[in-house]
Amino acid sequence: MKNRMQSFVTRGNNLVQNGKTESAMKLMASGFDYYSRRIIKAVTPYATADAGMLVIVFRHLADQIEQKNQGAKEFAEGMAKCLIFPELEEIEKLEKPNRH
């Protein structure tokens, strides 16, 4: 079984408890960036026509993560009130279609 990485949230909470709020905020921002980049890298490139499929899959995954991880939904709702995410920049590339 793979070892899991140490939680950004746990480390951030520890920093806040030690009075290092600014460091905690930077750590959380790097955590959001880390997960966002990994997810985007995993699904790109994708066909524009498949964007709706991605939305459905992401919503399903988010619902499942909330259901299976106590406190995840409340954490997400609380953080959503104070986060501003940048717009997703998409670059259109025309490639030969998959032959599968």
CB neighbour burial string for 50-78, b if at least 16 within 10 angstroms, e if fewer: eeeeeeeeeeeeeeeebeeeeeeeeeeee
Q: Find out whether 63 and 15 touch, Cβ atoms under 8 Å.
A: no
- Other beta carbons within 10 angstroms of residue 32's beta carbon come to 13
Question: Quick one: pLDDT at residue 86?
Answer: 76
pTM score above 0.85: no
Question: Quick one: pLDDT at residue 85?
Answer: 78
pLDDT per residue over 63-99, tens digit each?
Answer: 999 999 999 999 999 998 888 877 877 776 666 666 6
Q: How is the chain split into domains, by residue range?
A: 1-44, 45-82
What confidence category does residue 2 fall into, taking pLDDT thresholds of 50, 70 and 90? low
Question: Quick one: pLDDT at residue 1?
Answer: 55
Question: Quick one: pLDDT at residue 89?
Answer: 76
Q: What are phi and psi of 90, to 5 degrees?
A: -115, 135
Question: Quick one: pLDDT at residue 42?
Answer: 94
